[in-house]
């Protein structure tokens, strides 16, 4: 019987790959046979985690890149293509959050959040899509958020960026379906990552209390683990989702049900 989760021979590019959801996704896709290219600014963690994947029998490499810098993105994608000759999966996952209202938010923080999250996804897709098309197609998975579908408090830039990601996903699915490129979005709820813990610090809430409060109101009564989100990315990357494009899959323990 064919294993529709098998990614052997596939090349996956994952931004924000050194920690959190990106790292869990890199680990999982490597376990299913993909060669994973982990793109991040954190060179120390990225190199260490890529080496750990290789030591466990997977194939992984780290690429230091600022996804908001067009030349760095172009050069990084070109380097991956030179090495592998193809890119089959792109997980646009990099992003940052600033927990402030529109009144309190500084312009530089608005620019940072929108650039890292939305511009980064645009630039990576700009250079990866032609390679995918040349290779006969592929799968792009963007990391949105439950707050890309509904609003959240003191996170106006983050909500704007993630709302943009959700609708960008739909637009790209329409544009690139004819090239056999599927574009989908996974929308996590609060997930135990360095990003979430940093939110607690920004709001000046004790870490354990913040993590506990993040589970309130969820029917499954817990916050997410990075592997929960990685499982959804694997679905979109695999042949289990060959007729799915333009979708936004909420993975949040029922938080916005």
Catalytic positions are 158
Per-residue buried b or exposed e for 190-211, using 16+ beta carbons within 10 Å of the residue's own CB: bbbbebbeebbeeeebeeeebb
Instruction: Give the whole-angstrom CA distance, residue 184 versus residue 199.
Output: 26
Q: Phi and psi dihedrals of 60, rounded to 5?
A: -150, 150
What is the DSSP secondary-structure string of the chain?
---TT--TT-EEEEETTTSHHHHHHHHHHHHTT-EEEEEES-HHHHHHHHHHHHHTT-EEEEEE--TT-HHHHHHHHHHHHHHHS---EEEE---------TTT--HHHHHHHHIIIIIHHHHHHHHHHHHHHHTT-EEEEEE--GGGTS--TT-HHHHHHHHHHHHHHHHHHHHHGGGTEEEEEEEE-SBSSHHHHHHHHHTT--HHHHHHHTTTT-TT-S-B-HHHHHHHHHHHHSGGGTT--S-EEEESTTTT-
Q: CB of 121 within 8 A of CB of 93?
A: no
């Amino acid at each position: 019987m064919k294993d529709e989760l098998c990614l052997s021979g596939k090349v996956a590019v994952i931004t924000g790959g050194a920690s959190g959801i990106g790292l869990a996704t890199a680990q999982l896709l490597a376990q299913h046979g993909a060669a994973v290219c982990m793109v991040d600014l954190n060179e120390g963690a990225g190199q260490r985690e890529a080496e750990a994947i290789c030591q466990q029998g997977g194939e992984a490499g780290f690429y230091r890149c600022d996804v908001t810098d067009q030349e760095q993105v172009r050069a990084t994608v070109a380097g991956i293509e030179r090495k592998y000759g193809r890119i089959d999966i792109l997980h646009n996952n990099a992003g940052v959050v600033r927990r402030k209202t529109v009144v309190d938010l500084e312009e530089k923080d608005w620019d940072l959040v929108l650039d890292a999250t939305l511009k980064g996804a645009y630039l990576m897709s700009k250079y990866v899509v032609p390679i995918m098309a040349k290779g006969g197609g592929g799968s792009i998975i963007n990391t949105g958020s439950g707050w890309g579908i509904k609003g959240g408090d003191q996170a106006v830039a983050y909500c704007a960026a993630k709302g943009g990601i959700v609708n960008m996903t739909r637009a790209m699915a329409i544009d690139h379906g004819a090239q056999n490129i599927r574009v989908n979005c996974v929308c996590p709820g609060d997930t135990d990552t360095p990003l979430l813990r940093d939110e607690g610090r920004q709001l000046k809430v004790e870490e354990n209390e913040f993590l506990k409060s993040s589970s309130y109101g969820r029917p499954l009564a817990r916050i997410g683990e990075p592997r929960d989100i990685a499982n959804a990315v694997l679905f979109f990357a695999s042949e289990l989702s060959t007729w799915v494009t333009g979708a936004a899959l909420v993975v949040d323990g029922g938080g916005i049900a």
